[in-house]
Amino acid sequence: MPRPLSLLLLATGMACSLLTRAATPAPPTAPPATDPPTVAPEPPPTEPAPPASPVPPTAAPEPVRSLPDASGYTWAQVAGGLTRPLGLANAGDERLFIVEQRGVIRVFSEGQLLEQPFLDIRDRVVDQANEQGLLGLAFHPGYAQNGYFYVNYTGQGGGTLISRFEVSAEDPHRADPGSEFVLLSFNQPFRNHNGGALAFGPDGYLYIGTGDGGSGGDPQGNGQRLDTLLGKILRLDVDSAEPYAIPPDNPLAGGGGRAEIWAYGLRNPWRLSFDPLSGDLYLGDVGQNAWEEISYLPAGQPGGVNFGWNHREGAHPFATNLTEGLTDPVAEYRNGGGECSVTGGEVVRNAELPEWEGVYLYGDYCSGRIWGLIRDSAGAWRSEALFETGFRISSFGRGHDGRVYVVDHGGGVYRLQSAG
């Protein structure tokens, strides 16, 4: 067994068991595989270099002492008529940019869904399988000045591409499809578990969630291997060089594996986000056939955390009984009762909803259930089911004003607001 990278680096995590459920059919965007557990081959030994000093953490906000009574709140529809939407982002203004899996980004502005797409790259996006397509969108922190945004999609042959595009010089509601600059591409051995999440962190670096390459049980052992980009969170500096530079404090920047890696041991991370106040990172990782999980990295956490797949599924043994050096999720729930696939969410920081301040909302694709997750003043993680929506929850998103949205893969976008 290779020496776990997380034994050399600081790792955190707490596990809490939430709900039990019965198996359901796989969803279109991020289904758990139904293959029987497969023991992964041992990856080659690596000896990573010690990381540089991490970015100092942001001052911690006040802990959330209790979850709100959800009965006084609702998810109100703001947009409909969309085609398989599975992402939502903002560019620092009132507009919402909605990702459609087929390869189109739509604009919702001033209460209307614009007919003209912001970006249409259906000519290069492959979405033949349920988990392929245009999967992620992130706007550069300096978008107002440089017009850059980044997408994650599957292209010809099913491989993953991370590309930069530019907004049109003539129309702020249109991007230039000919401006594509490919930063990074890599093959996908199977058609599922493509990940797709993109987000800029408070450090200005681009974070990318990648799946383990697919099939079931991680047959190639990609989650634990440090010589592949699969089954990871990648961290890139897109400003210092083209196509990108490696942040000097990435854990493998000095050698021992792929220098882009920030964290590993993931199966199919479906949506990651940063708390805009604390800078803490949350992500949902889709389980094999038993456990769905939410993982967490506090702001200032050095890279190199091993989230355990495929040694563990959630906080439970899978291919081995290894626990040393692995970081368990802070929340998990069992498949059953209609649940099948976790969708990572957003921390609420909306002045209009003070009762929700600091609550992390996440959901399940099949059941449409939405949970709230908090860390109380004693440091314990608490999660509770709050909404039964009936949506096929493919993503959450945030407006520039802090409002939180949920995306229904069936064609709608909904905003959390007071029922009154």
Residue with the larger pLDDT of the pair 9 and 130: 130
Judge whether residue 411 has pLDDT over 90: yes
Q: What percent of the chain has pLDDT over 90?
A: 81
Separation between Cα atoms, residue 356 and residue 346, nearest integer Å: 11
Separation between Cα atoms, residue 159 and residue 135, nearest integer Å: 12
Separation between Cα atoms, residue 199 and residue 201, nearest integer Å: 6
Q: Is residue 204 part of a domain?
A: yes
- pLDDT attached to residue 59: 54
State pLDDT tens for residues 333-370.
999 889 999 999 999 999 999 999 999 999 999 999 99
Q: Is residue 179 part of a domain?
A: yes
Q: Quick one: average pLDDT of 276-299? A: 97
Domains contained in the chain, number = 1
Q: pLDDT-based confidence at 202, cuts 50/70/90?
A: very high
Q: Quick one: average pLDDT of 180-203? A: 96
CATH number reported for the structural domain that contains residue 164 in this entry: 2.120.10.30
Query: Residue 21's domain spans which residues?
Result: 5-49+65-418
- pLDDT attached to residue 248: 98
Q: What percent of the chain has pLDDT over 70?
A: 85
The residues, ordered by sequence, that sit 6+ positions from 162 with a Cβ below 8 Å of its Cβ are: 150, 151, 152, 182, 183, 184, 185, 198, 208
State pLDDT tens for residues 123-175.
999 999 889 999 999 999 999 999 999 999 999 999 999 999 999 999 999 99
Cα 392 to the center of its chain, rounded Å? 17
Contact 235, 244 (CB under 8 A): no
Q: Is residue 377 part of a domain?
A: yes
**Across the chain, what does the average pLDDT equal?**
88
Q: What is the 3-state secondary structure (H, E, C) of the chain?
A: CCCCHHHCCCCCCCCCECCCCCCCCCCCCCCCCCCCCCCCCCCCCCCCCCCCCCCCCCCCCCCCCCCCCHHHEEEEEEECCCCCEEEEECCCCCCEEEEECCCEEEEEECCEECCCCCEECCCCCCCCCCCCCEEEEEECCCHHHHCEEEEEEECHHHCEEEEEEEECCCCCCCEEEEEEEEEEEECCCCCCCCCCCEEECCCCCEEEECCCCCCCCCCCCCCCCCCCCCCEEEEEECCCCCCCECCCCCCCCCCCCCCCEEEECCCCEEEEEECCCCCCEEEEECCCCCEEEEEEECCCCCCCEECCCCCEECCEECCCCCCCCCCCCCEEEECECCECCEEEEEECCCCCCHHHCCCEEEEECCCCEEEEEEECCCCCEEEEEEEECCCCEEEEEECCCCCEEEEECCCEEEEEEECC
Burial class (CB in 10 A: 0-12, 13-18, 19+), 411: middle
State pLDDT tens for residues 52-95.
334 444 456 777 778 999 999 999 999 999 999 999 999 999 99
Q: Is residue 394 part of a domain?
A: yes
- pLDDT attached to residue 88: 98
Alpha carbon separation from 250 to 98, 205, 263, 275 (Å, rounded)? 31, 11, 9, 21
- Best CA proximity match to 282, nearest among 364, 161, 373, 196: 373
Judge whether residue 42 has pLDDT over 70: no
State pLDDT tens for residues 253-263.
999 999 999 99
Q: Is residue 59 part of a domain?
A: no
Q: Is residue 141 part of a domain?
A: yes
Q: Is residue 98 part of a domain?
A: yes
Cα 412 to the center of its chain, rounded Å? 20
Judge whether residue 231 has pLDDT over 60: yes
Judge whether residue 294 has pLDDT over 90: yes
Judge whether residue 176 has pLDDT over 50: yes
**Range with the poorest average pLDDT among 36-40, 120-124, 142-146:** 36-40
Q: Is residue 57 part of a domain?
A: no
Judge whether residue 51 has pLDDT over 90: no
Judge whether residue 413 has pLDDT over 90: yes
State pLDDT tens for residues 366-392.
999 999 999 988 889 999 999 999 999
